[in-house]
Structures are given as C-alpha cells and as structure tokens.
Amino acid sequence: MATAEDLTLRPVRPADEARVLELTRDVWEGRDYIPRVFDRWVSDAGAEFQAAEVDGVVVGVQRIRPYAPGLVWYEGLRVASSHRRRGIARAMLEAAIEEARQQGFREMRLATRDQPAVNLFESASFRRMVEVKWWRGLRVEGGEPARIPDPSEASRLWSLVAASPGIERYGGLVPDLDGAREHDATEIERLATQGLVRVGPGGRAVALLREPWGQNIAVSLLAGGGGALRELLMALRFEADADGLRHVTVNLPPGHPAEEDLKASGYDFADAERSAYIYALIL
C-alpha cells in the first residue's frame, strides 16, 4: 500500500486534466471549483500548481499562490479517494509550508469549510482568524444600483469601516475566501481601483466586494448599519438584476449586528448549516 513516503511532487501539466477531474469528481457532491479553474491555474506562472504522484499516478493536487507582500495563499488541496487516510494530505501540506518558508514568505493563509481539512490545518498549528457564513439576496428589479466610489475616497471610507459596529468580528481581515488581506485604507483603495467597493447613501455604509465564483455579486465585508446599510443591501440586489446576475452573496461573521439589516433587506442564509474559516500560519 502506497504511503506518504512514496510521494513525489511536480508541477501539474495540461495532460493531467483528465486525472485531476477524476480525483475531484466526488468533492462537494460533484461541485468542486477546480475543474473550472484548471486551465487558468496550469497557465499561471506566478503560482505553483502541484501534482502529487505515487508510482507515476497523480493522487493529489495543491496550489501555493503569492498574493500580497509577505503573504502566500494555500488552496486546492485534494487527495484521491483511493489514497486518503495514508498521510498524503499532511505530507503535501508540510512540503508546501517548507517551500513557502524557503521562499521567504512570512505567513501562509487559507480558507476552508471542510471539517477534515479543519482538523488537518489546526493540527499543523494554523490559527483560525475568522469564521463566516453566507447570506443570499435574490436580484430585484426597479431600483438604483449602489454608488461605486473613486479610489481617492478610500481614506474617508476607511474611517467609517474602522468605527463600524461588529468590525472586530472580522479578525482584522477582509475575508475574501480567495485571498484574505488586512482591512485598512490601503486595501480599500486597492479594491476601489478594481471597482470592488460600493457605498450607501451619504457614504454611511460600505460593502467591499470580491471576485465572484458564479453568477452573483459577492460581498466580503459590510460596514455601517441601520437605514443606510439596508439601502445599500437593496441597491446591491438592484445591481445584480441590472447586470443579469442571479443574486448577491454576503460573507458575514456569526453574531455580526448586520445580520438584522440583512434579514430586513430580504437576505437569508445561503447555507445555514456550514461555516467557512480563514486560517493563518506564521512562517
């Protein structure tokens, strides 16, 4: 029986696609995102998309991606069902951590919602930084989309975010599950430059967006409250309709006061049973 000691890591090649699709087929009941991003990951020279082989057969994949100064994002860890419970995932993770250290990164971060993965990362001394649940608001016709601010407004918007009720529940992060960064004026300016900030009436509410995974507007962080935030949340639903999208998805830490504003604005849990977590390991 093959074990972690027999493992060899190498770059994923385009010819590996059929095998990678095969080993991800049973992930999330067939809804794994890796098949959708395979071509992009293989062609991305700025990251390392790795295949783990045993006796010449690909039994796992993982990806290490630099995404901010000193920070590396770990994602896409998958092990074939035929090779689980043999220490392969742990060996792959340990190899990725060592490689990140050798390249001089100061911290590795990741996101997961899978309990076996949570157990693995916590046993490897990763620290949980934030928990989020998904809320969803279906698109609505007839209203005005939210205002997209100019990057020059970032410092003023940061003052609102920093003083917003419940901001401490974000653990100092914008919990983008594709690369979490610190929430500060620099990050708001970066997102505004990419058109990923929305502002409510009078600048009294802010939504920080991330690149969506599907036909939706995806929100990573909310700031503000009351009428201004509720108007912003409705404006996002109007924007989804204007853009031909299905809905708005909001990441929110459990217990955040914006839960009441989401409910009042027609949002509900997209997946009430499961949370997602962002973890970090100081290298």
pTM of the model: 0.93
Q: What is the pLDDT along the chain (283 residues), one digit of tens a residue?
A: 455 567 899 999 999 999 999 999 888 777 888 999 999 999 999 999 999 999 899 999 999 999 999 999 999 999 998 888 889 999 999 999 999 999 999 999 999 998 899 999 999 999 999 999 999 999 999 899 999 999 998 888 999 999 999 999 999 999 999 999 999 999 999 999 999 999 998 889 999 999 888 889 999 999 999 999 999 999 999 999 999 999 999 999 999 999 999 999 999 998 777 899 999 999 9
Query: Quick check: 75 and 28 in contact, CB under 8 A?
Result: no
The ranges assigned to domains in the chain are 4-105, 132-278
Query: Quick check: 22 and 61 in contact, CB under 8 A?
Result: no
> Which of helix, strand or coil describes residue 80?
coil
CATH of 132-278 given 3.20.20.210, 3.20.20.70, 1.10.150.650, 3.40.630.30:
3.40.630.30
Residue 1: predicted pLDDT: 47
Query: What is the spatial distance between Cα 266 and Cα 138, in angstroms, rounded to a whole number?
Result: 8
Query: What is the spatial distance between Cα 207 and Cα 222, in angstroms, rounded to a whole number?
Result: 5
Query: What is the spatial distance between Cα 247 and Cα 113, in angstroms, rounded to a whole number?
Result: 21
Reference 231, options 158, 140, 161; nearest CA is 140
Q: What is the DSSP letter of 26?
A: T
Would the CA dihedral through 90, 33, 105, 71 be positive or negative? negative
- Alpha-carbon dihedral angle through residues 239, 243, 247, 248, given to the nearest 10 degrees: -50
Asked, colleague to colleague, whether 4-105 and 132-278 share their fold, the answer is yes
Can you identify the CATH homologous superfamily of domain 4-105? Answer: Gcn5-related N-acetyltransferase (GNAT) (3.40.630.30)
